Amino acid sequence: MIAFAWTARRGRRRGHQRPGSRRRSTGSVIASGYGRNATNSGRVTRPTRPPTAPLTSGVVRYGGDVVTYDDLTLEDLQVRTLGEPTFDSPLAEYVADRTTNAYYVAEDDRVLVDDTITLLQRRGDITLSEVPSYEPGGPRRKIFFDPATTKAGIVTCGGLCPGLNDVIRALVLELFEHYGVTDVIGFRNGYAGLVPGAAPDPIELTPSFVKTIAERGGTVLGSSRGSQDVGVMVDNLVDKGVDILFVIGGDGSMRGAHAIAEEVTRRGLPIGVVGVPKTIDNDIPLIGTSFGFQTAYAKAAESIKAARVEVEAAINGVGVVKVMGRHAGFVACYSALANHDADFVLIPEVPFTLEGENGLLAQLRKRVRERGSAVIVLAEGAGQDLIPASRRTDASGNQILGDFSGFLRAQIARDFKNRDEPLTLRHFDPGYIIRSVPADPADSVYCTRLAQAAVHAAMAGRTDMVVGRPRHRFAHLPIEEVTKRTQQVNPDGDLWLSVMESTAQPLTMR
């Protein structure tokens, strides 16, 4: 047995009991928990002193507070299931006698949350069977739903993201071709499509319909923001005989999916709700990188390259490239790193000032004097504390951000003018372009595999969960757990460090 060492850290962080985290006396939802089935309860010991330094790497930030993965417990990660799987899976032969190896996680194994010794040690005195872990994705030998009588529905919600059509296509193909589920409908225009009369009627999805849809960006089903009445949506699912609902959407949409799953549970219905998280901002925690993100930042990198070319050909050229990223600067960081073309990267997670010796304007002047030009990559949510706050929200309840980009350009122009220095200011906004392009091949592969994992999970009866790829392993995660926090770039993490190295911008501009 593996030996570790740590100090005691007992008890739960929160007092709540996840609904369905143990077998219920009423209703149909039970836990698919590791703890319940765990056979290895051996306590582990360690040879070294427990570290005392605060955890700063691999963190998720929420509302300014650093939240760490070492907050997560095994119980938090229990995924619910609709009941015992009793049907032989048509994919059983694919997995027949497979056991875990370095490239495959068997269904009775678990994927660890912590991937360093130190992180594991910080959990204190716990046993192997208590170590936080994810249920692995993949086909099961037994499934809950009888493919012959199963009906699935798919809905896409929220803003666009490369790969939506890839996910729809792969869901349909997996359902039809591997499970033999031939009754699949697509709800139109987001959750509005689940409310009769609020959107066009659902469409039938077949392999021939979805065959070529991934060649274009966007979603063939349409999308929308905003919430709908959960009771009405569940009534409609029942009315249409939908057994499984696949929701492809962002954190708000996943909260909606959770609400639907809860209502389904409350009514004791055997309807599964499985999500494929979508966020171009890459701001959903625990799921690994979100699909479409890679395509998006690659596209944004093209604008940064264009800015570089423009400003280098000009006298005192300054390019400002505004990219998406309301509260998370991942697109800005990755697109800037892609070509080493950025001089400054501004993200919501790292505050800065404009004025003063260390402020951005002084640093920009210095860079332009030294190199003749400069490119600033700006996440849309950066610098919001430097302009008046907007009180407006969109249909999903997101705050509508102020135009910091416009403000910044005005300040740069003023600053150079005040010093009688020439300036050629160029502005680039790849915004919606990066969301509407088709997925690149790597993202297409990722979308396909996520969708396959979603179908395997749903057919096995999992519900109220999303698929993700934490630690590069396909896994199931409870919706509640991925929606209670927002993932942001950690200023103390290695990504921001790489950005600092690549741009050579000052560590702090305050």
252 is in an annotated binding site: yes
- Determine the Cα–Cα distance for residues 229 and 194; give it in Å rounded to an integer: 9
Nearer to ligand F6P, 85 or 468 (CB): 468
Please give the Cα distance from 217 to 49 (Å, whole number): 53
Rule CB under 6 A: which residues touch ligand F6P?
159, 225, 250, 280-281, 324-326, 380, 394, 435
Is 324 known to sit in a ligand binding site?
yes
* Shortest CB 398 distance to ligand F6P, Å: 7
Give 331 or 477: the residue with its C-beta nearer to ligand F6P: 331
Nearer to ligand F6P, 332 or 509 (CB): 332
Torsion of CA 159, 467, 256, 396, to 10 degrees: -20
**Per this entry, what is the length of the chain?**
510
Q: Are 494 and 56 in contact (CB under 8 A)?
A: no
Residue 134: how many CB atoms within 10 A of its CB? 26
381 is in an annotated binding site: no
Shortest Cβ 196–ligand F6P spacing (Å): 25
Q: How far is the CB of 194 from ligand F6P (least distance, A)?
A: 20
Residue 140 assigned as binding residue: no
Nearer to ligand F6P, 153 or 275 (CB): 275
Q: Which is nearer to ligand F6P, 264 or 301 (CB)?
A: 301
Q: How far apart are CA 264 and CA 274, in angstroms?
A: 13
Q: Structure tokens of 352?
A: 């800065």
Amino acid found at 279: T
Q: Tell me whether residue 138 is annotated as binding.
A: no
- Residue 380 assigned to a binding site: yes
In the complex with ligand F6P, which residue's Cβ is closer, 261 or 324? 324
Sequence-separated (6 or more) residues with CB below 8 Å from residue 366: none
| Shortest spacing between CB 204 and ligand F6P, in angstroms | 28
- Written as one string, the DSSP assignment of 66-128 is EE-GGG--TGGG--EESS---EEPTTHHHHTT---BTTB--TTS-EES--SHHHHHTT-S-BG
Contact 446, 291 (CB under 8 A): yes
Q: From its phi and psi, is residue 449 left (phi > 0), alpha (psi between -120 and 50) or beta?
A: alpha
- Active site (catalytic) residues: 281
Residue whose CB is nearest to ligand F6P in the complex, by number: 324
Rounded to a whole number of angstroms, the minimum distance from the CB of residue 175 to ligand F6P is 28
* Cα–Cα distance for residue pair 296/290, rounded to 1 Å: 11
CB of 158 to ligand F6P, least distance (A): 7
What is the dihedral sign for C-alpha 114, 441, 202, 395? positive
Closest CA to 178 of 91, 88, 86, 87: 91
With respect to ligand F6P, which residue has the nearer C-beta, 134 or 191?
A: 191
Q: What angle do CA 360, 366, 372 make, to 5 degrees?
A: 115
Rounded to a whole number of angstroms, the minimum distance from the CB of residue 104 to ligand F6P is: 34
Tokens standing for 92? 């059983």
Match 């332009």 to its residue by tokens: 368
Q: How far apart are CA 34 and CA 31, in angstroms?
A: 9
Within 10 angstroms of residue 20's Cβ, the number of other Cβ atoms is 25
Binding residue numbers for substrate: 279-281, 324-326, 380, 432-435
Binding residue numbers: 159, 225-226, 250-253, 279-281, 324-326, 380, 432-435
Binding residue numbers for ATP: 159, 225-226, 250-253
Binding residue numbers for Mg(2+): 251
